[in-house]
Amino acid sequence: MKDELRYHCNSCNISFSVTVGTIFHKTKLDLQKWFLAISIVLNARKGISARQLARDIGVTKDTAWFMLMRVRKAMMEYGDLLEGIIEADETYVGGKNKNKHNSDKTKGGQGRSTKDKTPVFGILERKGKVRAQKVRNVQSKTLQSIINRSVQVGSTIMTDEWGSYHGLSKKYKHFVVNHGTGQYVNGTAHTNSIENFWSLLKRGIMGQYHHVTEKHLNSYINEFCFRYNKRDDEDIFETLVLKAVTI
């Protein structure tokens, strides 16, 4: 339908636009604003809030939030198994009891408690990619099932002393650093790279977003993983736009 710049399906008698099947589906905004938003998100190393994006491109806060969530959806990655030297670690996203007023403190919420924090697990391929996601718990069955699905058998895995990693040596070369005794480097074994990624993620959440619900946490993690994984990609904008139209 050249006059309307749309397509028409004779089978179902419905017309549709070229944006069907993309993150731009049913948008009322000019694509130029979408492309500007994508560029801003890619250049915001610590993320950008919906309010700030709204001011930058001249839309409402709710529209900016909707755009950000669509862009994060396009950032989701699936890839080959990680291999070589791998660092694995778990962290917790959420407020710390020591930073809360006494009336707001969560009893038993310190340490590895999940009463007011969400556990997140990540694996990082040195000089390669990182993958991370929220998890129900940090038990052995949960963490090792993710490792088995994501890491090539025979690779070298470096972790801390957390008990859930016991048994990895059956499939991998497993090296441990004992953080409990103050050990952070054991020869060439360390988890500093994945911990640096956690710092970047948490600085973004605390500094830009302040609060992220558990429901949407994976979307924010996808954003930080994508920027980290494409940090040396000179065509990162084109890469993301291509993913945005092929989701």
Q: Which helix (H) or strand (E) holds 172?
A: none
Percent of the chain that is helix, strand, coil (3-state, to 5): 40, 15, 40
What would the pLDDT profile of 193-225 be if each residue is shown by its tens digit?
999 999 999 999 888 888 888 999 999 999 999
Whether 110 has a pLDDT exceeding 60, the answer reads: no
Beta bridge partners of 134: 120
pLDDT of residue 195: 95
Question: How far separated are the first and last CA of the chain, in Å rounded?
Answer: 25
Q: What is the pTM of this model?
A: 0.85
Query: Which string of b and e fits 177-203 if b means at least 16 CB within 10 Å?
Result: beeeeeeeeeeebbbebbbebbebbbe
- Mean pLDDT value across the chain: 89
Half-sphere exposure of 221 (CA within 13 A, CB side): 23
Q: Give the single-character DSSP code of 117.
A: -
Domains of the chain (ranges, CATH numbers): 7-74+233-244 (no CATH), 85-212 (3.30.420)
What would the pLDDT profile of 22-77 be if each residue is shown by its tens digit?
999 888 899 999 999 999 999 998 899 999 999 999 999 999 999 999 999 999 98
User: Distance between CA atoms of 112 and 106, rounded to whole angstroms?
Assistant: 13
- More confident of the two residues 216 and 116: 216
